[in-house]
Structure 1
Amino acid sequence: MTGALREDPPPEQVRSLLEAAARMVAARDALTIARDALASSPTRSPALTALAGAIDAEARGVDEFLAGLYRLVELAEDIWADLDGPHPVPASGRDRLRASLDRAVDNALTDLARLAGAGEVAGPGRTGAEPLDTRATVEAWTEATPDEVYSSVEHLSPADRRLLALAEPEAVGGTYGVPWAVRARANSVLVRRALHREQLAGTPWSPRIGRLETMTRRGPGRRRRSFVGFSPLRGGRMIEVVGDVGPRTEAVAVYVPGTGTNLDMSHVNTDVAVDLVEAGGGRLVVVAFLDGEFPQDIMADAGDPRYAEAMAPRLVRFCREVDRVIEIECPGAALTVVGHSYGGRIVGTAERLGMRADRVIYAESPDLGVGVSGPADWRSPGPVRRFSFTSPGDPVELLQVRWGLRRAWSTSDLSDGATRLDTGYFADGAPVYGTRGHGGVFDRGCGAFEAMLAVMLGGRAPLWRDRRIRARHTRVDPGDDGRVLPTVWRHATGLWLRRADDPYGDAEILWEAPERLVAVPVSTRAAGHGVVPGTGGD
């Protein structure tokens, strides 16, 4: 995957639908202004109150029609992309696809008829004379538990679930307990709506438009991407599920990235999730958790605890949601939470608040979390296997040494709270080292990447081993790990004195300690399938 793409000019059928949407938005806004004027009038009378209520009902009706119209826009763009776009499907499959698209158009027209209150299709427990009240349905969720929300949605017919997602996308897309497939459908409406707002406003091309465009496109296998959380506000938020949660799933990983993360650059995080899922061979599902504001500048605000304090409660709650989904879809699958860089601080703070996980990986984490001075401050409700990665020569070790989290000659890391694993080598044979190693631990094929898979799925992972490494202007010697003076000098040279001359480049290993391995058990679900650790399920 690449970065933001240039905006493609919409085809004729999409332009006409966007023009219709613009007219409907204008009509809705006019009704809203009239309603507000009547509601704020100093004159009070039953007639004015009744008129304001009638206008409000009309405005809400237009909003519901807009949801259906945006669905038509999605269909029109899919038709163009699949049949006449730059990457059309093979000619042999076009007739079959045209037939399926015709059925999809019929479904969309049925949705519009249902929004208008005509042609109602009966669902379980309802007759055609009892249309689904989408607003009442979501309002009932205010005091409901996730299990109660799930039950209220699960009994609906597929047509009603689709209608609910289209008519109330904000509530459906952000409510825990709603089945992930329904949340993803609702958030696809919100993503498309955010893109159309940018287009209707005449916004020139920007990374945000490019990112929203890529989010609406299909992924590998021409499948829609699955967002169970989304917001375009400020830096943007999203929760993306990569992989299929189902009978083959043996493990689910929640990946929390670090400084610099935002919606516009979220393709980097999606790439990490896709690589892990592909390497897992269908046994692993990865969720990219970007549900909050991240620090954007490593020098200006990466030390600010407010971001972690704000996101940690959301992570705790989301992990409960993942547990609930696992119980329904793949009982016994292991839940691993991975925090990278500042994401490690978020994860550690969440552990202090009671986050439940089977395994936790702190990758290049600067500390144990806000308000955490040692592992005793973590309040996990059950047993947790904790692991950590820090590539040698990574400047983040300055913070780790500052807080006393590193010990020389020891695979016990983070104040004895985690087992430190080895980062190894990149696929090109270079050691995972220095500034390249900070994000490089997620490069597919490197030692840290393979060790992460072993933790998530079960297997044998290499323990950290001491090395003598020489780079262009920096070095690591045996026994340096956890020592203050060698660490400070190394990064004073790398970050200030020789910063312009690639001080961490051209790293080579002159000596390394023997390899040692630690066994990580497979999940109870995988064990029930007869999977042996390290066999990849074969």
Structure 2
Amino acid sequence: MRRFGRTLVTAALAVAVVAGTAGWASGDSQSAVTGPPPGTAAWRADTADGGPLPDPAGTAPREVARFFAGLDDSARQELVRSHPLVVGNLDGAPLPLRYEANRLAVAATGETRYASLGAPGRQILAFDPRGRGQVSEVFGDLEHAPHVSVIVPGSDNDATRHDAGRKPATGPAGMARSLRAAAGDGTAVVAWTGYTTPVGVGLDAADGRLAEAGAVRLARFTEGLDAVGAADPVLFCHSYGSVVCGLAARHTDATDVVALGSPGMRADTAADLHTRARVWAARGPSDWIADVPNVRFAGIGHGADPTSAAFGARRVPAADVQGHTGYFAPGTRSLAAFAAIAKGEIR
């Protein structure tokens, strides 16, 4: 009974923290954007070479890849022009087609808040304007790079905040640019905001609902990378993004999973992630995430601290990291370690 009482007290503290005490901000409840992209109905009604098109909701990425491999260039281009939002978000479709389709999709929205995503030279791998918007961008040559990393961000990220109004080396795009600069041309980095993130750090950030939806999308995304021949990825999972990675890890072929500034991964130990990937964790000395109670009770909280000895993850040096978003800052020990992990130099 005494132990149960302590658990209740700790859970109550967690709820109080989430509700706005201890320096946390409140957040608005979000509805997860799931399912196939806009335009799917028209896609399903269309054909190519007299046959049906692969269903975005159920066709495995490898089947999608085989479908496109059987089309000539004119048929592929016609699908891009007719269904840019579907092709641009279709895991398993050829990467150059997705980049082209998303350029068209961004332009078709006519919204200035997305205009920068359509700038020349940007490689937008996914773009979905529903809700607050989701976007993924590639830095480097994803088709041919021997090493691939994926940045999985946390709260307050969407298509409009992908890289606008951010300090250097923060936000999904900033983190990806910094990691690629440190790791070099042999590494491609994807900034993946492919799920609905919490806004602020209210109850959405304290429960796993959005992370569960995000984990399904992340697992399928990594299947898509595999289907087009990309290297098995390293997942760099920041803040609430580490909750997504914790739930998705067993369903991906990631070589490494790196949790940074993590509130927990919905697991008691690294072994409980049930992944063959190496599991790493980093937390800077001034990161406010350390004030979050590492509990999980009645759906609230994300469990054990990944940087604790009991969790069993490999530690990433982070003594010179400033705040909650400084892990990819140039010159930090954490970035140097991330680059080494990204290049497969640490075994």
In the superposition, the TM-score normalised over structure 2's length comes to: 0.76
**Does 1:295 find its partner at 2:198?**
yes
* Equivalent residues of 1:375, 1:415 under 8 A apart: no
Q: Deviations over 1:340-378 (max 9, x none)?
A: 011111111112x53331111000111022xx3333432
**1:254–1:337 contact (8 Å) kept in structure 2:** yes
1:421 — aligned with what?
A: 316
- Residues in 2 aligned to 1:366 and 1:160: alpha-carbon distance in whole angstroms: 47
Counterpart of 1:350 in structure 2 is 248
CA distance in 1, matches of 2:195, 2:49: 28
1:234 matched residue in structure 2: 131
Structure-2 separation of matches of 1:265 and 1:243: 21
Question: Displacement, 1:404?
Answer: 4.8
Does residue 314 of the first structure (1) align with residue 210 of the second (2)?
no
Is the aligned partner of 1:272 residue 2:170? no
Q: Which amino acid aligns with 2:305?
A: L
Which residue identity lines up with residue 156 of structure 2 in the other structure?
G
Query: C-alpha separation between the residues in 2 aligned to 1:424 and 1:285?
Result: 27
DSSP 3-state at the match of 1:177:
coil
Alpha-carbon distance between aligned partners in 2 of 1:277 and 1:362, rounded to the nearest angstrom: 18
Q: For residues 126-180 of structure 1, what are the alpha-carbon distances to aligned partners after superposition, in whole Å with 9 as ceiling and x for unaligned?
A: xxxxxx8489542567764322321221232323322211112232222222111
Q: Offset of 1:237 from its aligned partner?
A: 0.6
Q: Which amino acid aligns with 2:233?
A: L
In structure 2, distance between residues paired with 1:233 and 1:359: 31
- Cα deviation for residue 242 of structure 1 reads 1.5
For the pair 1:405 / 2:305, whether they are aligned, the reply is: yes
Correspondence for 1:409: none
Looking at structure 2, the residues matched to 344 and 269 of structure 1 have their Cα atoms a distance apart, in angstroms, of: 14
**Aligned residue number for residue 107 of structure 2:** 192
1:437 aligns with 2:323: yes
1:341 alignment partner in structure 2: 239
CA distance in 2, matches of 1:141, 1:265: 26
What is aligned with 1:502?
Answer: none
Three-state SS of the structure 1 residue aligned to 2:200 is coil
Q: 1:135 to 1:266 in 2, by over 3 A?
A: farther
Report if the CA contact (8 A) 2:151-2:192 is conserved. yes
Higher radius of gyration, 1 or 2: 1
Structure with the higher fraction of residues in helix conformation: 1
Match of 1:261 in 2: 157
- 1:189 is matched by which residue type in structure 2? L
Picking from 108, 115, 132, the partner of 1:213 is: 115
CA change 1:262–1:144 in 2 (3 A) is: closer
1:6-62, Cα deviation, whole Å (9 max, x unpaired): xxxxxxxxxxxxxxxxxxxxxxxxxxxxxxxxxxxxxxxxxxxxxxxxxxxxxx9xx
In 1, the alpha carbon distance for the partners of 2:252 and 2:54 equals: 28
For residues 140 and 235 of structure 1, the distance between their equivalents in structure 2, rounded to whole angstroms, comes to 25
Q: Which has the higher contact order (CA 8 A, sep 6+)?
A: 2
Tell me if structure 2 keeps the 8 A contact 1:270–1:288: yes
Matches within 5 A, 1:387-536: 387-399=280-292, 403-405=303-305, 413=308, 415-425=310-320, 432=321, 436-459=322-345, 520-521=346-347
Is contact 1:134–1:168 with CA below 8 Å preserved after alignment? no
2:49 and 2:124 map into 1 onto residues whose CA distance is: 21
Distance 1:250 1:389, change over 3 A: same
- Whole-angstrom CA distance in 2 between matches of 1:386 and 1:447: 18
Instruction: Kindly indicate whether the alpha-carbon contact (under 8 Å) linking 1:363 and 1:388 is maintained by their aligned counterparts in 2.
Output: yes
User: Is structure 2 residue 74 aligned with structure 1 residue 159?
Assistant: yes
Structure 1 unaligned runs (5+)? Answer: 1-59, 65-131, 199-208, 407-411, 426-431, 460-519, 522-538
Q: Flag the 1:271–1:379 CA change in 2: closer, same or farther, 3 A.
A: same
Residue-pair matches, total: 291
Gaps of 5+ in 2: 1-38, 164-170, 296-302
Q: In the alignment, residue 252 of structure 1 is paired with which amino acid?
A: V
What is the alpha-carbon distance in structure 2 between the residues aligned to residue 445 and residue 345 of structure 1? 27
Distance 1:153 1:134 in 2: 11
CA spacing shift, 1:439–1:144, aligned 2, 3 Å = closer
Question: For residues 165 and 145 of structure 1, what CA distance do their matches in structure 2 show?
Answer: 19
Question: Hey, which bits of structure 1, 4+ residues long, moved more than 6 A?
Answer: none
Partner Cα distance (2:313, 2:160) in 1 = 33
Identical-residue share of aligned pairs (%): 27
Query: 1:69-88 alignment to 2 at 5 Å?
Result: none
The question of whether the paired residues in 2 share the 8 Å contact of 1:337 and 1:359 is answered with yes
Structure 1 position 239, deviation (Å): 1.7
Give the aligned residue type for 1:307.
Answer: L
Contact 2:88-2:125 within 8 A present in 1 as well: yes
**Corresponding residue number in structure 1 for 2:258:** 361
Following the alignment from structure 1 to structure 2, what is the Cα–Cα distance between the partners of residues 261 and 239?
Answer: 11
The 1:348–1:228 alpha-carbon spacing in structure 2 relative to 1, beyond 3 Å, is same
> What is the TM-score when the length of structure 1 is the normalising length?
0.50
> Residue 504 of structure 1 aligns with which residue?
none
Secondary structure of the residue that 1:368 maps to in structure 2? coil
